[in-house]
Amino acid sequence: MRRMEYYIYHLDEIKSMKNINHPASPAFPFRLLICGGSDSGKTNMILNLLLGNKIQRLHKKRKGEKYVKNDDLVLIGKHIHEPKWTLVKKCYKIFANAPEATRENVTFQALKVNAIPDVTKFSSDRNTVVVFEDLCAELKKIQDQIVPYFISG
């Protein structure tokens, strides 16, 4: 089994990144629920799946990979401007503007909860990953907008 390099992102805590091997790397199409208490590493797991080792390797002028291969990343949540998501946004911009050999046609979009797009509007020609961040306690009206992503998304 191929192992995924796993990095700990302590942007808000100012600690060094630690590299851990981790066997989790889903294949398309998939639905993935990551849940746990506060400070349990949920966001770090998502960042590792979305960024892989690509950003670290690009800085060393080597080719890396994202573990979840996607073209478009859509973040929907209440805390879309926290440091870890700002890092992801910057990384996707770097991936999109990298030298041709490592460049990817990727986009990143961060949306507030009141702007959840219709799941049927996404292009079937592109792999789109949607991350619902910290929305489990939202109103039923919001939950009803999320349900189609798990049924037909």
pLDDT tens-place string over residues 95-148: 999 888 888 999 999 999 999 999 999 998 999 999 999 998 899 999 999 999
- What is the number of structural domains in the chain? 1
**Going along the chain, which residue ranges are E strands?**
4-7, 19-22, 72-77, 107-111, 128-133
Full-model pTM: 0.81
Closest CA to 24 of 43, 49, 7: 49
Q: Quick check: helix, strand or coil at residue 109?
A: strand
pLDDT in tens, 45-102: 999 999 988 888 887 877 888 888 889 999 999 999 999 999 999 999 999 998 888 8
Structure tokens, 70: 């996607």
Q: Quick check: helix, strand or coil at residue 110?
A: strand
The C-alpha atoms of residue 153 and residue 146 are separated, in whole angstroms, by: 10
Q: Which residues span the domain enclosing 93?
A: 4-151
The C-alpha atoms of residue 52 and residue 33 are separated, in whole angstroms, by: 18
**Angstrom distances, CA of residue 85 to CA of 110, 124, 148:** 9, 25, 24
**Angstrom distances, CA of residue 109 to CA of 25, 37, 84, 97:** 22, 26, 14, 16
